[in-house]
Amino acid sequence: MGDSTASAKPIDPGRHAAELIRDQLIAAQCKLVVHVAESRMTGLYHAVHEDARFQKIYVAREEEGVGICAGTFLGGTRSVLMMANAGLQAAVHAIANLSIMCRLPVVMLIGNRGRFGDPIFYQEYTGQFTQPLLDSMQIPTMTIDTLDKVNLIPLAFDHAWVFKKPVAILLERETLDPIKKHYLLETKE
């Protein structure tokens, strides 16, 4: 036997996570993906974009995505709205007055920016307000902070369909960006 590690290709952790999530969307019978661009979810965007099993609709604003996903429910198909947590803030009215009020399930796959380990300072209030916003709207929330929890994603879809309400799946930094990097203060010798 030769040394198999010498010829093994290194795994791209971000790509691997994206493919695992994509596979769970398939397992959840998700047929349509609605997406607004988000930097940390770029790998997931490509995994979905390149997969002919999904129909894709790219929207200008996240509240459109709430409407589109509500429409797919009424048409008998499952869909997902992929966005950053900033999009959650943009979509509040649509979530409250369409999804919640009319009992139309919408599954939201949300990149949870502005939490521990996010180096982008302007994500402060997207991170700080996400959980209180979800709590105030009583939206059931599934937190995916390790890769082994990715296989719970179909349960979020089932929950939305059984209870006919919006459901949030929070993708934490550790799931999509497994390469840990600590931002240390520079010191001058």
Identity (one letter) of the amino acid at 126? Answer: T
Q: How far is the CB of 59 from other proteins (least distance, A)?
A: 5
Instruction: Name the token pair of 178.
Output: 């497994």
Q: Which stretch, 90-98, 107-115, 145-153, 172-180, contacts other proteins (CB under 8 A)? A: 90-98
Which residue is it, tokens 């390149």? Answer: 50
101 counts as binding other proteins under rule CB under 8 A? yes
Q: How far is the CB of 15 from other proteins (least distance, A)?
A: 27
Helices 13-27 & 153-163 angle (0-180, nearest 10): 30
Instruction: Name the token pair of 73.
Output: 């429910």
Q: Which stretch, 16-24, 76-84, 125-133, 145-153, contacts other proteins (CB under 8 A)? A: 76-84
Give the span between the Cα atoms of 145 and 178, in whole angstroms.
Answer: 10
26 counts as binding other proteins under rule CB under 8 A? no
Taking residue 126's Cβ as centre, other Cβ atoms within 10 Å add up to 23
Q: How far is the CB of 146 from other proteins (least distance, A)?
A: 29
Q: Of these, 19, 20, 57, 143, which contacts other proteins (CB under 8 A)?
A: 57
64 counts as binding other proteins under rule CB under 8 A? yes
For other proteins, the closer of residues 36 and 150 by Cβ is 36
DSSP 11: P
Helices 13-27 & 42-49 angle (0-180, nearest 10): 50
Q: Of these, 23, 31, 141, 143, which contacts other proteins (CB under 8 A)?
A: 31
Report whether 77 contacts 88 (CB < 8 A).
no
Give the span between the Cα atoms of 82 and 79, in whole angstroms.
Answer: 10
Instruction: Name the token pair of 118.
Output: 């996010």
Q: Of these, 27, 102, 120, 152, which contacts other proteins (CB under 8 A)?
A: 102
Q: Which residues pair with 141 in a beta bridge?
A: 168
Q: Of these, 21, 28, 48, 66, which contacts other proteins (CB under 8 A)?
A: 66
Q: Which stretch, 19-27, 41-49, 74-82, 140-148, contacts other proteins (CB under 8 A)? A: 74-82
Residues within the interface to other proteins (CB under 8 A): 31-32, 34, 55, 57-61, 63-77, 79, 93-94, 97-98, 101-104, 161-162, 164
